[in-house]
DNA sequence: GAATTCGCAATCATCATGACTACGGATTGG
DNA sequence: CCAATCCGTAGTCATGATGATTGCGAATTC
């Protein structure tokens, strides 16, 4: 199926959780972080970049530099992370119908409206959890899955 | 845009709406459908295949063959279509963390649980609409978007 | 001044998606 | 029976998104 192509959200949650688990106040280098996420340092920096701009994390260059949380883990909702990294991505892809077809135009409007509804639903669900929850393993699977 | 690649759900909604709009009982060929969706006939058949297996549409070969709805448009929820085509796709991609890292394993479990929750949320939202709604343009944007 | 680490640009490999072609099978109509 | 139409499916190809990797510069610490 549509394989997990964009993993930035997953990596970000991992990184934030890792940082939240660091009790000593020392920053963590991209190198160390890349080891845990099995990614490379450049990618780590690219993922953390938007989070830094949003004020969630700090970075410092230099010998004992690295990354650390800028706010409490309990104050970072997963919805925030989602919006920063993948919130602009459509949940389902749109297609380009024949512009001359009346049905096509109507369907396109419908799909756009749907997209926003679904994106809202995703954000609402992610709003319920924070990085602290992920650190504590407090994110449980739903009682019953609607799958199939 | 992470998800922009897989447009099968969008195409399927388009195709079903097109079929629902056909008042005369004659089947529609893949060729005609491909014109409206701006795709090619083979792709149309590939998208409609799972819907046929689920009993939502029928197809007939031969001279006056083609596709038609097998059930009432009001009985086809968008969630059904979603599950058949993209329901198995993760909403956000998972990454492959270092299996030796305790944080990594924990985060992975959390993300898997999250994935199911979010997938449920999407399905629940799509459950609210049917192909008839898309035909009537009855899918409105939400009152306020949670974007940004 | 040397070592460390972030910041960023540029290139490359991989993979999902969909377009396209080709051929076979089923059905209709003469 | 034969031709035309249309689905069914396999196979190949182009495109685009994603992430790996390298290289170089700037900032900071010691």
pLDDT at B53 over 50: yes
Rounded to an integer, what distance in angstroms lies between the CA atom of residue A80 and that of residue A84?
6
Query: For residue B39, what are the domain limits?
Result: 8-88+130-136
Residue A24, chain B, CB below 8 Å: the answer is no
Residue A61 included in any domain:
yes
Residue A3 included in any domain:
no
Q: How far is the CA of A135 from the C1' of D24 (A)?
A: 37
What confidence tens digit (pLDDT) does each residue in A7-63 have? Answer: 999 999 999 999 999 988 899 999 999 999 999 999 999 999 999 999 999 999 999
Residue A142 included in any domain:
no
Question: Cβ atoms within 10 A of the Cβ of B1, count?
Answer: 11
Residue A102 included in any domain:
yes
pLDDT at B3 over 90: no
Residue B71 included in any domain:
yes
**Phi, psi angle pair for B77, to nearest 5°:** -85, 150
Give the largest Cα separation in chain B, rounded. Answer: 63
Whether the beta carbon of A8 falls within 7 A of nucleic chain D: the reply is yes
Number of residues that make up chain A = 148
CB–CB of B111/B94 below 8 Å?
yes
Residue A1 pLDDT class (50, 70, 90 cuts): very low
Beta carbons of A90 and B114 less than 8 Å apart = no
Residue B39 included in any domain:
yes
Residue A49, C-beta contacts closer than 8 angstroms, at least 6 positions apart: none
Residue B125 included in any domain:
no
Q: Is the dihedral of CA B7, B47, B92, A122 positive or negative?
A: positive
CB–CB of A71/A81 below 8 Å?
no
Beta carbons of B113 and A14 less than 8 Å apart = no
DSSP state of A62: S
Residue A1 included in any domain:
no
Position with higher pLDDT, A3 vs B33: B33
Question: Which CATH number covers residue B58?
Answer: 1.10.10.10
Q: Which of A134, A34, A131, A132 lies closest to B109 in space, CA to CA?
A: A134
What confidence tens digit (pLDDT) does each residue in B6-23 have? Answer: 899 999 999 999 999 998
Whether the beta carbon of B87 falls within 7 A of nucleic chain D: the reply is no
Residue B74, chain A, CB below 8 Å: the answer is no
Q: Residue A126 to residues A79, B11, B109: CA-CA distances in angstroms?
A: 5, 28, 15
**Phi, psi angle pair for B59, to nearest 5°:** -135, 145
Nearest 10 degrees: Cα torsion A19, B111, A90, A119: -100
What confidence tens digit (pLDDT) does each residue in B62-113 have? Answer: 999 999 999 999 999 999 999 999 988 888 888 878 888 888 889 999 999 9
Q: Which of B36, B119, B139 sits opposite A98 (nearest CB)?
A: B36
Which residues in A43-60 are b (16+ Cβ under 10 Å) and which e?
bbeebbebbeeeebbbbe
CB–CB of A54/A84 below 8 Å?
yes
What the block records as the tokens of B88 is 């198995």
Residue with tokens 């924990």, as numbered in its chain: B106
Note the pLDDT of residue A3: 44
Note the pLDDT of residue B90: 87
Helix, strand or coil, per DSSP, at residue A130: strand
Residue B148 pLDDT class (50, 70, 90 cuts): very low
Residue B37 pLDDT class (50, 70, 90 cuts): very high
Q: How many domains does chain A have?
A: 1
What confidence tens digit (pLDDT) does each residue in A77-129 have? Answer: 999 999 999 988 888 888 888 888 888 889 999 999 999 999 999 999 999 99
Q: Which of B43, B44, B42, B49 lies closest to B15 in space, CA to CA?
A: B44
Spell out which residues of chain A touch residue B54, defining contact as CB-CB under 8 Å. none
């Amino acid at each position: 199926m549509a394989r997990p192509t964009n993993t930035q959200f997953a990596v970000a949650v991992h990184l934030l959780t890792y940082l939240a688990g660091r009790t000593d106040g020392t920053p963590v280098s991209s190198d160390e972080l890349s080891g845990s996420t099995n990614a490379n340092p450049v990618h780590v920096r690219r993922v953390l970049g938007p989070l830094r701009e949003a004020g969630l994390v700090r970075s410092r260059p230099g010998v004992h530099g690295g990354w650390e949380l800028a706010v409490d883990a309990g104050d970072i909702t997963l919805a925030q992370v989602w919006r920063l990294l993948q919130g602009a991505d459509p949940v389902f892809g749109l297609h380009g119908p024949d512009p001359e077809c009346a049905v096509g135009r109507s369907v396109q409007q419908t799909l756009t409206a749907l997209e926003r509804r679904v994106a809202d639903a995703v954000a609402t669900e992610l709003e319920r959890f924070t990085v602290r929850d992920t650190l504590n393993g407090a994110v449980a699977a739903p009682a019953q899955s609607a799958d199939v």
